[in-house]
Amino acid sequence: MENETIINDEKKFRKVFAKRLRKLRIDRELTLKEFAAALCQKYDVEITYGSISNYERSFRIPSIYVLTFIADFFNVSNDFLLGVTNIENEAKNDVNIYSDINNMTIKEVNELYLKIKDIGINFNK
């Protein structure tokens, strides 16, 4: 009985992923071949338009490796593609927790510190 629930959830997951991937591709006005070629060129990864088609028809799901490239290509989060959230890209928030502090100016680091302090995080504990 428990396995049936997992299978049903996986089917739902595949459908959400398929629907979101197809919408993102169509919104960009890309054919399956164009999208596959763009992924290959940008990320030096081998993926066919047939694979993309299988993803969009919910026959298959990509590896985490490919999923990350797809998310980056469309500037959305993996969580959005996977249906965990309806927010396309968490990084669009004012405070991006994935910022590389080493590449920030002192002013930017101070602003980030103040924003974090304003939401109630105390660094002195």
CA gyration radius, the chain: 19
pLDDT digits (tens, 9 = 90+) for 16-27: 999 999 999 999
Q: At what angle do helices 49-56 and 32-43 cross, to 10 degrees?
A: 120
User: What fold does the segment set 2-89 form as a domain?
Assistant: 434 Repressor (Amino-terminal Domain) (1.10.260)
Q: Token digits for 57?
A: 């028809």
pLDDT digits (tens, 9 = 90+) for 30-73: 999 999 999 999 999 999 999 999 999 999 999 999 999 999 99
Please state the domain extents for the chain: 2-89, 93-125
